[in-house]
Each structure stands twice: as structure tokens, then as C-alpha cells.
A and B are shown apart, each in its own frame.
Chain A
Amino acid sequence: MKQSIKMALSSILSNKMRSFLTVLGVIIGVVAVVVLSSLGEGAMDSVTGQIEDLGANLMQVTVKTDRYTGIDLDNLASLADGETISAVSPVLSQSVTAKSTLDTYDCTLEGVGASYFYIRQLEVEQGVTVGELDNDLRLPVCVIGVKVADRLFGTRDVVGQSVSVRGYDLRIVGVLEEQGSSMIISDDEKIIIPFTLAQRMFGSTSITSFYASGASEDVMDQAEQRLRRFVSARVSDPDDDFSLTSQSAVLDMMDEVTATLTTLITGIAGIALLVGGIGIMNIMLVSVTERTREIGIRKAIGAPRSAILMQFLVEAIVLSVAGALIGLAVSTALLMALRGPMGIPTLAVSPGSATLALTFAVCIGVLFGIYPANKASKLNPIEALRHE
């Protein structure tokens, strides 16, 4: 075995350019698979991380019917029993154009209850949040995201200034901490006002959407049930009229996306490595023909068929494994280079995809090497010796 690997290596190295071109297919296949799946995994991890950042106990209910739902601020407040649900806040979102004395900006206006900031785990960088009193008195105040501040005022030092939305002059009482770029929701681009004010602004009387936070991770199931019971009793069709989103549900969905992605990548892997394998088989067949005389000599001096078979099989496997290793090296470099542009600092070759690539490579080597190797081992020694 040691001898066959040595022989295979010397044969491969004696024709470096050809060997390299042969394994190029395997290299490209491995790089495609490893980079794609590592990117996929990296992106998934990062999205999952962001979802987790939203707060483990966050739940959101959205009623999809326009008809009066029977949910009001009072019965909503009573949902928070402290045991399963710690806080509830209605939300009302609309796209609006906000104006300052300097500029205008299209952003999201969100009317919220006082506990919204607690539920969403949002902090202000300056000033205060929208509170209970603001809601009770329907005060024209707002808390804005940093991006809104930047765009409307060119500075974040804006507490005390006013923005104008739909004819309302809103006094800025707080600026939210910067959230950074996020793929799902950007709180940096929001103007947050008291829920009661938003209802007035948009002429709405019902509550169609609200956030709630579970008292602890252990009671999330009960919390969800409590929410479900509450809403079901207040809509005409409990199956269709509302949706309840919790972090665990979103994470479940992400798992499904990951599974689909994995299937897809496995498919690509299969095709890419098949192409690489055909390249190897092709060159091995050429090699067998070229080395017919060598095979004849080996047989004349006592090489059994199995030894010739092993020699060529090992050569095919060494080729494909070398291709896989080079592919892994290229992938590592590529993923490191992509860390910055993709904004995923942990991007690296995932152990799973590396194992997959290597296993595939060995299989490809065996699968596509066996035919040429068998052909070589079956050569008639006399004819092989006559071969020029």
C-alpha cells in the first residue's frame, strides 16, 4: 500500500500540468460546494443570531381581518398576568414621510405602548422612551432611530427638536441606540410615537397587532396558549384570522430553509463532483493506454492483476483527494476574503462540508478509477509488451 501510494505520487508528479488540469474539475466542485454551504451556514447563523437578539421571549400577534376585533387597550393590558406573560404592547405601523426644517425622509412610523421598549429590549441613547403618560394624554412626542436623526438633522443630538408627520408636530424626546444593519427589521429607521396618538393620526380604533413577552423561557408554551386563547375568542375565524409569531416559530422556519439549502447544495455537489470524476476517469484511461508497455513489463516480472488494479486505483484516489485538499485550501482562502464583504466575521470552512467533500472525493476516485484500473489489470502481457 505504501508502495502504491509512492508509485501513484511519482506518476502524478511526473506530469504536473496534466494532473493539475485533471483535478481542476474536482477542485472547482469542492470549492463550489464548500464555499456555498459555508456561506449558507454563515448567513443562517448570523440571521439566527439576529432573531435571538430580538429577545428570546418575544411574541407577535397580527390580526388579519379589518373588522372590529374586540381587542382594546384594557383587555390587552389584562393579558399580562406576570406568570406567563410579563408585558404587552399594541403596535400600529405605517409608512410615512417625515419632515424637519432641513429635510424630508421616508420611514416607518410606529405607535406603541409604554412596555414596547421593554418587550423589544430597545434602549435610548439620549433622552427618554415613550411612556405611559404620553399614551394616556396622547402627547405629540416621539423617539427616533439614529438613521432618521442623521437624515433629517445631520446630527444625533436632536432631543427637543421637532419632526412633522401628517400635519402633527412631534417633539423628539429620545433617540434610540444604534442597532446596526439588520436583515429583518431596522429600528434605526423608525419614528416611535404613543399608540393612542397613532390611532388618532390614522383614524383607527381597533388593535390589530401587538407584541407580548413571555415571563420566562420555560413558560413560552403557556404564554403562547394564553395569547392564542385570548385572540381566538375575539375573531370570527380563529384558524385564519390571525397569526402568532414567536422566536421559536421563526427559528423553526429557518431550520426548514437550512434544510432546503442543504439539499440544494448536495445536488450541486453531486453534479460538480460527477463532472470532476469524469475528468479523472478520462485521464486515467489515457494513462492506461500510455503506460501499456509499463503494465506489460510489470506483469512479466510477476505483478498479479490485483497489484496493477491497486496501482491505478490508488492513483485515481490520490488525484481526487489531492483535488479535494486543494479545493479546501482555496475555499478557506476564499471564505476568509469574503468575511469583510459579507459582514460575517466567523465565516470559515464548516467541518461538515469539509468532511463531505473529502468523502465524496474518495468515492469519486474509487468510482471513476475502478474502470480504467480494471482495464489495465486485464491487459494481455504479451500485447502490452509489444506496445510501443
Chain B
Amino acid sequence: MIELEDIQKRYVLGGETVTALDHVNLTVGDHEYVSIIGPSGSGKSTLMNIIGCLDAADGGVYRLDGVDIARYSQRQLAAIRGRKIGFVFQQFNLLQKLTAYENVELPLIYQGVSEKERRVRVGEALSRVGLGQRMHHRPNQLSGGQQQRVAVARAVVTRPSIILADEPTGNLDSKTTVEIMDMLEELHAQGNAIVLITHNPEIAARAPRCVHIRDGRLSEVEPGGSRAVEGGGA
């Protein structure tokens, strides 16, 4: 359960203040699938970094599963990133020197999972994304779609409750986009909460709930309300 209350985030660049998040309120339930749509620079990534405990807000309260994350130490936040949250990025963010298998294995190593169990879980996660055959390829030997699958496998291998995807299909063609989206939706069907960030209205519309962001301000979009999205984009 994600609860954002009055979250603010400002950046000061050369004396100029940019308000990236402006009094944001958002609640995402345990098994919810929410898409966040907005133009470039509207604060989507900033919001996701805060939800993912990668960044701290300047103001407001963020409760994760009922606990104010301000109470956590750096070490505990790292553990939360590892266990509760799975990230999928637009640029895949795989380690180029490691194979697909090793990339997926990495979060488990940081959690101190035994070698034997790692083998089982990594194999499971990779076959789940349909990459059972390419475990020992390096990212540069894989297509963009395949790399993103590895990233999804890495996100789910820790069995997180929340998947945060920041434009996961931004670098993919339409066919692979559909494949990745199907995969995310399958994860949702299996009980994960999903926060999907995109600026593609079609993709945003696949989610049961869609939130619009503009200049750091959130507004809910009615279900099936593609008009509201168009209106926000105009």
C-alpha cells in the first residue's frame, strides 16, 4: 500500500527553482494497477523515484505499508528497494558486463539468498519472461525487447509487492511493447501492484486506473476517459 500525502519536491538550478512535484496526493492499493501519464518534464520520474525510495521528498509524508519511510535508515531503505519494490526502467539499466542470468541474480545476492535458491529463482524468473534459453547472453547480445524482459525478470525475481515501471516501452517497437505490457499485466493478475509511467495514452488506457500529471500536479482520469487525457495533453 502506497500512500503519498502532500508530497513536494523542488530542484534549485542556478538560482531558479523548479517545482517537480506540487502537493501530490496519491494512494495505490496492494493489488492495484495504475498508470501515470503526463508530458515530458511533468515530474513523472521524480514521483516514481520517491515511490521507489530512491529519492526523498522535500515535504509531505510517504507511508509504505502503513509506515512513514522517513523513519527508515539508509540501510533499511536499501532493503526495501530490494524486497518490496521492483524497478523497470526505460533504458533497461542492465549491467553490461554481466550475463542475463547474473543481472537477474544480483538483487538476490544483495539479499543474501543462498546460491542454490538463487539458481532456482533466477531460472524461474527468466523462463517466466520467456528467456530461459538466453540466460548466458550479455545485454549487448540481446534485442531491446529481450533486454527489457531481463529487466522485468530482475524486477520480479525478488517477489516484490510493487512493480514500478518508468516508460518501460519507451525504447521498444509496437510489437515488443505489447509483449512487455502483456507481461506486466500478467504480473498484476498474479497479485502485484503496478505503477506504470508513460506518455503514451494508448498504453495508459490499458490500466484500470489512470492518473494524469502536469507541472507536478496530479489529477485522476475517469475510467475509459480518453478525452480527459487528450484535454490534459492539449
Q: Is B87's CB within 8 Å of the partner chain A?
A: yes
Which of A14, A296, A302 has most chain B Cβ within 10 Å?
A: A302
Is the beta-carbon distance between B110 and A382 smaller than 8 angstroms? no
A300-B81, A381-B54, A382-B54 given as contacts; is B75 within 8 A of A305 (CB)? Answer: yes
Q: Is A303's CB within 8 Å of the partner chain B?
A: yes
A124 CB contacts on chain B under 8 angstroms: none
A367 CB contacts on chain B under 8 angstroms: none
Provide the bound-state CA to CA distance between A11 and B154, in Å: 21
Is the beta-carbon distance between B110 and A297 smaller than 8 angstroms? no
Is the beta-carbon distance between B78 and A382 smaller than 8 angstroms? no
Which chain A residue lies CB-closest to B55? A382
Provide the bound-state CA to CA distance between A14 and B97, in Å: 8
Is the beta-carbon distance between A302 and B75 smaller than 8 angstroms? no
Provide the bound-state CA to CA distance between A307 and B110, in Å: 7
A349-388 near B? 1/0 per residue, CB < 8 Å: 0000000000000000000000000000000011001000
Q: How many residues on B have C-beta within 8 angstroms of the other chain's C-beta atoms?
A: 24
A11-B97, A299-B81 given as contacts; is B74 within 8 A of A305 (CB)? Answer: yes
Q: Which of A10, A293, A303, A304 contacts B97 (CB 8 A)?
A: A10
Is the beta-carbon distance between B52 and A300 smaller than 8 angstroms? yes
Is the beta-carbon distance between B110 and A300 smaller than 8 angstroms? no
Q: Is A226's CB within 8 Å of the partner chain B?
A: no
Is the beta-carbon distance between A298 and B106 smaller than 8 angstroms? yes
Provide the bound-state CA to CA distance between A302 and B76, in Å: 10
Q: State the main secondary structure of chain A at its contact with B.
A: helix
B70 CB contacts on chain A under 8 angstroms: none
Distance (whole angstroms) from the CB of A220 to the closest CB of chain B: 67
Total contacts A-B at CB 8 Å: 58
Which chain A residue lies CB-closest to B94? A297
B88-115 near A? 1/0 per residue, CB < 8 Å: 0100011101000000001101110000
A385 CB contacts on chain B under 8 angstroms: 54, 89, 93
A52 CB contacts on chain B under 8 angstroms: none
Q: Is B82's CB within 8 Å of the partner chain A?
A: yes
A298 CB contacts on chain B under 8 angstroms: 95, 106, 110
Provide the bound-state CA to CA distance between A360 and B7, in Å: 52
Which chain A residue lies CB-closest to B81? A302
A381-B54, A382-B49, A382-B55 given as contacts; is B111 within 8 A of A302 (CB)? Answer: yes
Provide the bound-state CA to CA distance between A306 and B78, in Å: 10
B145-180 near A? 1/0 per residue, CB < 8 Å: 000000000100010000000000000000000000
B89 CB contacts on chain A under 8 angstroms: 385
Q: Which of B54, B109, B111 contacts A3 (CB 8 A)?
A: B109
Is the beta-carbon distance between B83 and A302 smaller than 8 angstroms? yes
Is the beta-carbon distance between A301 and B97 smaller than 8 angstroms? no
Q: Is B18's CB within 8 Å of the partner chain A?
A: no
Which chain A residue lies CB-closest to B87? A300
Provide the bound-state CA to CA distance between A296 and B52, in Å: 13
B46-75 near A? 1/0 per residue, CB < 8 Å: 000100101100000000000000000011
A3 CB contacts on chain B under 8 angstroms: 109
Provide the bound-state CA to CA distance between A326 and B150, in Å: 39
Which chain B residue lies CB-closest to A383? B55
Q: Which of A293, A300, A304, A381 contacts B79 (CB 8 A)?
A: A304
Provide the bound-state CA to CA distance between A303 and B107, in Å: 7
Distance (whole angstroms) from the CB of B215 to the closest CB of chain A: 20
Is the beta-carbon distance between B78 and A297 smaller than 8 angstroms? no
A302 CB contacts on chain B under 8 angstroms: 78-79, 81-83, 107, 110-111, 158
Q: Is A294's CB within 8 Å of the partner chain B?
A: yes
A10-B97, A294-B95, A385-B93 given as contacts; is B106 within 8 A of A301 (CB)? Answer: yes
Provide the bound-state CA to CA distance between A134 and B59, in Å: 112
Distance (whole angstroms) from the CB of B28 to the closest CB of chain A: 19
Is the beta-carbon distance between A301 and B81 smaller than 8 angstroms? yes
Which of A3, A296, A297 has most chain B Cβ within 10 Å?
A: A297
Which of B49, B78, B110, B111 has most chain A Cβ within 10 Å?
A: B78
Provide the bound-state CA to CA distance between A293 and B54, in Å: 14
Is the beta-carbon distance between A305 and B78 smaller than 8 angstroms? yes
Provide the bound-state CA to CA distance between A278 and B97, in Å: 27
Provide the bound-state CA to CA distance between A314 and B154, in Å: 25
Is the beta-carbon distance between A301 and B107 smaller than 8 angstroms? yes
Distance (whole angstroms) from the CB of A137 to the closest CB of chain B: 93
Within 8 A of B (CB), among A1-28: 3, 10-11, 14
Is the beta-carbon distance between A301 and B75 smaller than 8 angstroms? no
Provide the bound-state CA to CA distance between A39 and B19, in Å: 70
Provide the bound-state CA to CA distance between A100 and B106, in Å: 89
A/B interface sample: 12 pairs, CB < 8 A: A297-B94, A298-B106, A300-B52, A301-B81, A301-B82, A301-B107, A302-B78, A304-B74, A305-B74, A307-B110, A382-B55, A385-B54
